[in-house]
Amino acid sequence: MLFPMLNFKPLELDDIQKFRPFFLNNTFGICDFTVGGYFMWAEHYGYSCAVKDGYLFTRSINIDKKDETVYPLPLPLNGGDIVSGIRLLFEEIGSAATVNPVPEAVLPQIQAAFPNCKITGLSTWSDYIYSAKELATLPGHAFASKRNLVINFEDNYPDFEFINLTQANAAEVIAYEEEWARSRGHEFTAMQQYENARIREILENFTSYGFVGGILKVEDTVCGFTCGEVIGDTLFSHIERADIHRKGSYQVVNMKFAQKILKEYGVKFINREDDAGSDALRQAKQSYNPVKMGKKFSVSF
C-alpha cells in the first residue's frame, strides 16, 4: 500500500506570508488562487496544503460532490512548470486524481501532456472580470442607471466620505458587519453565517492579510465597506457590504473603490468573483458589463 508523502496540513493565519509568493505569478486571473480565495474559504472547501520542491499543493473537497477529494492546480513558486507540478502531485499521492479548479489559460499545456484527460467546465464558478477604468468612471449608456444612482446618493448625502480601511479603523467596520448580519434575522443562511465569521477574522487581522479597502461613511457613521487584494494588473474584490436603505450606497462603494485602486495601483481589471449559481448575483454582476469571464475547469486523469 502506498502512503501519501505530502504532509498536508490545515491552513493557519501564519501561513499567509508563506503561501503569498505562490499566488503572485499564478492567479491566472481567477480568484481561487489568491490569499482571499484560499484563506477566506479554507474551512468551507476543506483546504489542507503542503509545500514541496517549489510547489504549493492543496487538497480539497469537491464542492459539488462532497464525498470526492480533489486537488486544486499545483502552483509553482518561481515560474516552475505546471505539468511537472501535476506529475509530482500524482507521484506523491500514489495515483492520478482530479485537479479542480484549473484555469482556462493552462488547459493547452495539460491537454498536450495528458491527451486522455477528461475536462469538465465549471460554469457556475466562472469569475466576472471588469475594466477597472469603466467601473471607476461608469461611462456611456451602458452604465447610465449605475451613474444615476451614484449622483442621487451624492445629492442626498453631500457630506459622505470614502476613506481607507486599515487595521486602525477595522473595529468600527466589524461593528457594522455584525449589525449588518443581525439585521438579516432568520433570513441569514448558514453560508452567510460562515462568510460573516470569515469577514470578522479578516478584519481582525487586516494587516496580516495584506488587503486594501475602503469605508463609506455618512455623518461619520459606517454605511458600507469593501476590501480585496491587488495582484499584478488585477484587483480581486473579496468583500463588499452597503446599507440597502441608502439608495445607491452599493454603487458608490463600488465606484469609489475602483477609483482608489485605479489611481494607487494602475490596475487594468477588477475581478468580482463568481455568482455561485445565484440568479440575483448573476443579474447584479452582469449589469456591470464584464469584459471577460474567468473560466474554470475540472480535469480528471
Domain 9-126 and domain 127-273, same fold? Reply is: yes
Report if pTM > 0.85. yes
Domain at 127-273: CATH code: 3.40.630.30
Cα distance between residue 153 and residue 255, in whole Å: 12
Domain spans in the chain, listed from the N-terminal domain onward: 9-126, 127-273
Query: Alpha carbon 229 to chain centroid distance?
Result: 9
What's the pLDDT band for 1 if we cut at 50, 70, 90? Answer: very low
**Cell output for 198:** 470569515
Query: Alpha carbon 196 to chain centroid distance?
Result: 15
pLDDT at 63 over 60: yes
Question: Which one-letter amino acid corresponds to residue 242?
Answer: A
**Tens-place pLDDT, residues 175-210:** 999 998 888 776 778 888 899 999 999 999 999 999
Supply the DSSP symbol for 72.
P
Which pLDDT score is estimated for 186? 64
Rounded-to-5 percentages of helix, strand, coil across the chain: 45, 25, 30
Give, in degrees to the nearest 5, the angle at Cα 210 between 205 and 216. Answer: 80
Cα distance between residue 266 and residue 233, in whole Å: 7
According to CATH, the superfamily of the domain at 9-126 is Gcn5-related N-acetyltransferase (GNAT) (3.40.630.30)
Supply the DSSP symbol for 126.
P
* Ramachandran angles phi, psi of 170, nearest 5°: -65, -30
Contact 90, 96 (CB under 8 A): yes
Which pLDDT score is estimated for 106? 96
Which pLDDT score is estimated for 184? 76
Which pLDDT score is estimated for 40? 97
Which H or E element spans position 141? none
Cis amide leading into 158 (omega within 30)? no
**Per-residue pLDDT averaged across 287-292, rounded?**
98
Contact 211, 230 (CB under 8 A): no
